[in-house]
Amino acid sequence: MNGPAERRACVIGWPISHSRSPIIHNYWLRRYAIEGRYERLPVRPEDLRHFLSDLQGQGFVGCNVTVPHKEEAFRLVEAEGDAALLTSTVNTVFLRDGRPFGRSTDGEGFVGGLVAGVPGWSPRDGTVALLGAGGAARAIAAALAGAGASRIHVFNRTPGRAEAMAGDFGPPVMAARWDDLADTLAEAGLLVNATSLGMEGQPPLEIRLDALPREAVVTDIVYVPLETPLLRAARARGNRTVDGLGMLLHQAVPGFELWFGVRPEVTPELRALVAADIGKG
Ligand code: NAP
């Protein structure tokens, strides 16, 4: 039963069974002794409009939005912030005066995970080599540009998507050609895999790291497996690496704060809980 003071949030998607967001938010609810609950809720695409417009009526203070609803949710709620506008997506919906507003927190989560994984990391250290031009890559480019990165070279299987991204963002985001990857890596301070390559069940990401300086940081947003072949290869040659779990945990921070009024901490205990769940497959 819901107590009168209980605040409820949820993650919606179709299907939704794989989401790890309940582990994260319910951990924080326990840790901060907040009377609340965070659920997984399957919502069909044809029901999304009604669900978001009646969030309050259904007893929710907000929700996370995942595949396949992020783009449609952007159109249905009032989107806030550059990250939402540059990605045309929202992943976090909250109520203001009873009306649904949305933000995209993936980019913020990416930078949060990076700073936690490599204390002292600076966006100004060299060029960023960004692989991928999908929704996650856009969110990351927006956050890195906002943090002060001076050059972000985007490599993508479908070059037109990287070009569209460069056109939408403007400098420092530039579309790059795969033939020039080694030249970009030679001056890179950060290499990011924001494609789905390397994920369990997907083909591996096959690139040569020879040109990459040893001081560069290598990060993969794929988190199943936690150590992707890219991260393993980078670690073996002495680069510092950051896995995709940091992004997953840190993207949840703004939503929790908006819904429950406490800015939560990403603790080693939380990381271990989610890592254990990923390990279960
Ligand atoms: P998306 O919009 O579908 O983009 C997928 C990207 O991967 C595109 O750049 C696509 O290139 C590329 N790609 C897919 N298959 C490929 C292949 N066989 N060869 C070369 N490139 C390929 O997906 P997304 O939302 O950006 O997500 C990308 C990955 O990030 C997913 O694995 C997702 O699980 C992960 N992710 C992690 C977090 C986190 O918190 N750690 C958050 C969001 C996403 P084309 O443009 O050529 O198709």
**Side-chain half-sphere CA neighbours of 154 within 13 A:** 34
Cα(166)–Cα(160) distance, integer angstroms: 10
Nearest of 214, 163, 168, 167 to residue 188 by alpha carbon: 214
pLDDT tens column, 249-265: 999 999 999 999 999 99
Give the SS3 label for residue 244.
coil
CA of 230 to the centre of ligand 1 (A): 15
State both tokens at 271: 């990381």
Nearest of 244, 249, 225 to residue 21 by alpha carbon: 249
State both tokens at 247: 């992004």
How many other CB atoms are there within 10 angstroms of residue 144's CB atom? 23
Atom of ligand 1 nearest to the CA of 196: 32
State both tokens at 178: 């795969």
Give nearest CA residue, ligand 1 atom 7: 195
Give nearest CA residue, ligand 1 atom 1: 134
Q: Does the Cβ of 34 fall within 6 Å of ligand 1?
A: no
Cα(100)–Cα(11) distance, integer angstroms: 15
Strand partners, 11: 40, 64
Q: Does the Cβ of 8 fall within 6 Å of ligand 1?
A: no
CA of 3 to the centre of ligand 1 (A): 41
pLDDT tens column, 93-122: 999 999 999 999 999 999 999 999 999 999
Rounded to the nearest 5 percent, the helix, strand and coil shares of the chain are: 40, 20, 40
Phi/psi of residue 175, nearest 5 degrees: -80, 140
For the cut 60, the answer to whether the pLDDT of residue 207 exceeds it is yes
CA of 98 to the centre of ligand 1 (A): 34
Cα(68)–Cα(28) distance, integer angstroms: 26
Q: pLDDT over 70 for what percent of the chain?
A: 98
Mean pLDDT of all residues belonging to the chain: 96
Residue 2 pLDDT level (bands cut at 50, 70, 90):
low
Ligand 1 pocket test target in 24, 196, 249 with most atoms within 8 Å of CB: 196
Question: What would the mean pLDDT of 205-218 be, rounded to a whole number?
Answer: 97
Catalytic residues: 70
User: What pTM value is reported for the model?
Assistant: 0.95
Q: Which residues of 95-116 are buried (b: 16+ CB within 10 A; e: fewer)?
A: beeeebbbbbbbbbbbbbbbbe
pLDDT tens column, 25-45: 999 999 999 999 999 999 999
Helix axes 253-260, 21-31, angle to 10 degrees: 50
Q: Does the Cβ of 249 fall within 6 Å of ligand 1?
A: no
- Interior angle at CA 131, CA 125 and CA 134, nearest 5: 120
Residues ≥6 apart with Cβ < 8 Å to 77? 52, 90, 93, 100, 101, 102
